[in-house]
Amino acid sequence: MRFGLLGTGPWAELAHGPALRAHPDVELAGVWGRRPEAAADIAERFGGRPYDDVDALIADCDAVAVALPPDIQAPLAVRAAKAGRHLLLDKPPATTVAGAREIADAVEAAGVASVVFFTLRFRPETAAWIEEQRETGGWQLGRADWLGGIFGEGAEHSPFAASPWRREKGGLWDVGPHALSVLLPVLGDVADLDGSVAAVSGAGEVVQLALRHASGASSTCALGLAVAPAASVTRVELRGASGAVTLPEGETDAVAALGHAVDALLASARTGEPHPCDIRFGVRVTEILAAAEARLAG
């Protein structure tokens, strides 16, 4: 499958470029970005050729892999889907419900495949753990702590520290999708957006999110990007009839995980079967985060 890579930032350089180049069933057709010199550099390193016109690249490929801020990603994803191209999107697909739903509508109308890259869902160890806990069932409480220090005082330089959208939207929108991607498949959908979502913010720009799930379980998430480096943590815990379990720790190889996401998109395009992390799931995550944002604002 011929892929066009949209985006030239750190995520395109560190994950998308290497993953697309390494995949045996993928050809990188070209690269487009808002900085033509960066597109030329990434194309030279990972394959394909640079494009000045995004629509020309969309016309020359079968699928697009998007490594762009969500609200730039969303309208380009709509254009690609309307052109009949499969979509490998980054999380969140958009930071507005309308933007995410517009992608979903375009995907449905065109009959193309979609996968949203929630990194841990494509880590084999995490995927197996989620499935095991889903089958076990009986969980009453979930807790996810996703606290990073890329904007924290004394933090070591991160390639994502220069990301304007992360600075503006914070942990709710950047790491919140990761937390929901683990909790929702185990505990079930949020019961309703009006009465089952609560959120408060506190020191270190940390957002505390509380959810009631349709299964009857409840969950909490601590989400932040500006905590002290020593306080950074990624942890998920479940409690219920079977006791308590914790998501296995371990480094996530983003390139390998993205390779698995490409596998998922290829399979969905071939079979017509939607992947659990398709745009419809991406829309639901966006709806929950938007409801939380509204609670914070009002």
Tens of pLDDT, residues 210-266: 999 999 999 999 999 988 888 889 999 999 999 999 999 888 899 999 999 999 999
Q: Per residue in 99-155, pLDDT tens?
A: 999 999 999 999 999 999 999 999 999 999 999 999 999 999 999 999 987 886 655
Contacts (Cβ under 8 Å, ≥6 apart) of 298: none
Helix (H, G, I), strand (E, B) or coil at 190: strand
Are residues 117 and 91 in contact, defined by beta-carbon separation less than 8 angstroms? yes
Q: Dihedral sign, CA of 142, 96, 10, 21?
A: positive
Q: How confident is the model at residue 231, as a pLDDT?
A: 86
Bridge partners of 147? Answer: 224, 233
Give the mean model confidence (pLDDT) for residues 65-80.
Answer: 98
Are residues 161 and 284 in contact, defined by beta-carbon separation less than 8 angstroms? no
Burial class (CB within 10 angstroms; exposed 0-12, middle 13-18, buried 19+) of 158: middle
Sequence-ordered alpha helix ranges (H) in 143-199: 164-174, 176-187
Question: What is the total residue count of the chain?
Answer: 298
Q: Are strands 27-32 and 2-6 parallel, antiparallel or unpaired?
A: parallel
Q: How confident is the model at residue 152, as a pLDDT?
A: 67
What secondary structure letter does DSSP report for 229? G
Q: Per residue in 16-58, pLDDT tens?
A: 999 999 999 999 999 999 999 999 999 999 999 999 999 999 9
Q: Dihedral sign, CA of 23, 28, 33, 36?
A: positive
Q: How confident is the model at residue 298, as a pLDDT?
A: 82
Distance CA 69, CA 60 (A): 23
Please tell me whether the overall predicted TM-score, pTM, comes out greater than 0.85 for this model. Answer: yes
What are the CA-CA distances from residue 144 to residues 113, 218, 239 (Å)?
A: 30, 12, 12
Are residues 62 and 31 in contact, defined by beta-carbon separation less than 8 angstroms? no
Would residue 257 be called left, alpha or beta, if left means φ above 0 and alpha means ψ between -120 and 50 degrees? Answer: alpha
